[in-house]
Amino acid sequence: AGPCDIYASGNTPCIAAHSTTRALYSAYTGALYQVKRGSDDTTTDISPLSAGGVANAAAQDKFCSSTTCLITIIYDQSGRGNHLKQAPPGGFRGPEANGYDNLASAIGAPVTLNGQKAYGVFMSPGTGYSNNAASGTATGDAAEGMYAVLDGTHYNGACCFDYGNAEVSSTDTGNGHMEAIYYGDNTGWGSGAGSGPWIMADLENGLFSGSSSSNNAGDPSLSYRFVNAVLKGGSNVWAIRGGNAASGSLSTYYSGARPSASGYNPMSKEGAIILGIGGDNSNGAQGTFYEGVMTSGYPTDATENSVQANIVAAKYATTSLTTGAALTVGSSISLRATTSGYTTRYITHTGTTINTQVVSSSSTTALKQQASWKVRAGLANTACFSFESVDTPGSFIRHSDFALVLAANDGTKLLYEDATFCPQTGINGQGSSIRSWSYPTRYFRHYENLLYIGSNGGVNTFDSATSFNDDVSWVISTGFA
């Protein structure tokens, strides 16, 4: 059985079922998600390998070979057509054209399920999906349940990495107009024990960790790589539950009456579905979604416990984030451009600016050092890498407002994430392309001889699709210095 078969037998059927990694009904053979590739803007659907099975990641890899791919649709497996698509502007505008949010890279969150490769949805700040015309979702004070399997190590404190029920207008229409799972370490409203991250309930104008609208010590900080976050709400009752999605059982972090703050009892749910954003399209948060559902009716703890067992049995595990030529931690490398007319230029720094310059064996020692980078284990994720300046030890290549800069390691989580990059086989077939860990739609890209993390098309000049594949492909050699 799949999670939605279990909810159905508990008389709280799924009315939305979303996953890029696997079918959530044992009989489901339809499309899981749609990807769009950069080379020709065509799309394809990715389906399970077999009924109820894991996604056909190989089909995605083939379709996306030698180009980039975005996740354009996360299909609803419930049959209700509650698909998730690129979120429109609301109270806040997204970074894309016309205020839409960004779409996620199709390769930012590789995992295995029972040893078979699949991809989750790695959402950087600015990324969001929604369905503002969903059918069968709870409205008003009606009861619902939901869970989401997330990367417990990918979060931030911005508003709001959510999955669940929200406003149909993408605007803040008042307390109680949402009921969504939140995951992160935002402390602007509620918080739990320790420093986070926490599973909380986004009920609009408030992230709730329990009955108090501020701190509730019963909601623990979590450090699981894979988290199962569970939320349910009915008439003057709701609960937060959670656990390790890779082993063990669920714990109940809160179960009881609605918050006493005004507007949350009764609730005024509107029934839209959001992923990765707040109810008003607040889009500063980050997180990774693998699978999740919403139900009609208030699931029993026993039903949720069976779903947890099903998720554990799916055996989520990490897998490599890199492909192509191996890098050796501790070695010094230089990176040469492959764009025709620029092939004598290497990635260098001039002060804090990262640029390209012509470098050769007869260059000055100073320039050779500016063109040389010590490979370090990724500061945010040791499955990837960071690049430390040879002539300025302690300073790393990071992105900031999407430009690459040389920055001293200030020990912050943001620097670690901005300075972590995952190399893959060069998109133009030469060398390697250096993908940003935190913005996997973006790669080291030279544009007018300056370095950015560029995407294959987008609103910034340095996101130009023209010569993108060449501009993001670098031949890596032993460092000049």
- The C-alpha atoms of residue 61 and residue 441 are separated, in whole angstroms, by 15
Among 151, 204, 463, 471, binds ligand AHR (CB under 6 A): 204
Q: Is 231 in the site for ligand AHR (CB under 6 A)?
A: no
Question: What is the pattern of x (binds ligand AHR, CB under 6 A) and - over residues 380-399?
Answer: -------------------x
Cβ count within 10 A of residue 10: 18
Least distance in angstroms from the C-beta of 274 to ligand AHR = 8
* Catalytic position from the list 151, 270, 280, 418: 280
Residues 257-286 binding ligand AHR (CB under 6 A) are 278-280, 282
Cβ count within 10 A of residue 158: 17
Residue with token string 């889009």: 283
DSSP, collapsed to helix, strand or coil, labels residue 470 as: helix
Q: Is 159 in the site for ligand AHR (CB under 6 A)?
A: yes
Q: Which of 147, 214, 158, 140 is nearest to 180 (CA)?
A: 147
What DSSP state is assigned to residue 149? E
Closest to ligand AHR by CB, 65 or 353: 353
What are the DSSP calls for 286-307, one per residue?
Answer: -EEEEEEEEESS---HHHHHHH
Q: Is 336 in the site for ligand AHR (CB under 6 A)?
A: no
Instruction: Give the residue closest to ligand AHR by C-beta.
Output: 278
First to last CA, the chain: 58
Among 23, 160, 250, 314, binds ligand AHR (CB under 6 A): 160
Q: Is 418 in the site for ligand AHR (CB under 6 A)?
A: yes
| Catalytic-residue membership of 280 | yes
Q: Is 359 in the site for ligand AHR (CB under 6 A)?
A: no
| Catalytic-residue membership of 172 | no
DSSP, collapsed to helix, strand or coil, labels residue 349 as: strand
**3-state DSSP percent of the chain in helix, strand and coil, to 5:** 10, 40, 50
Residues that bind ligand AHR (rule: CB under 6 A) add up to a total of: 19
Judged by CB under 6 A, the stretch of 129-137, 142-150, 197-205, 304-312 that binds ligand AHR is: 197-205
Q: Report the DSSP beta bridge partners of residue 354.
A: 349
* Catalytic position from the list 202, 204, 388, 417: 204
Q: Is 414 in the site for ligand AHR (CB under 6 A)?
A: yes
Cβ count within 10 A of residue 402: 17
137 neighbors 165 (Cβ within 8 angstroms): yes
Q: Is 469 in the site for ligand AHR (CB under 6 A)?
A: no
Closest to ligand AHR by CB, 41 or 410: 410
Instruction: Catalogue the active-site residues.
Output: 204, 280
Contact footprint for ligand AHR (CB under 6 A): 159-160, 172, 202, 204-207, 278-280, 282, 399-402, 414, 418, 438
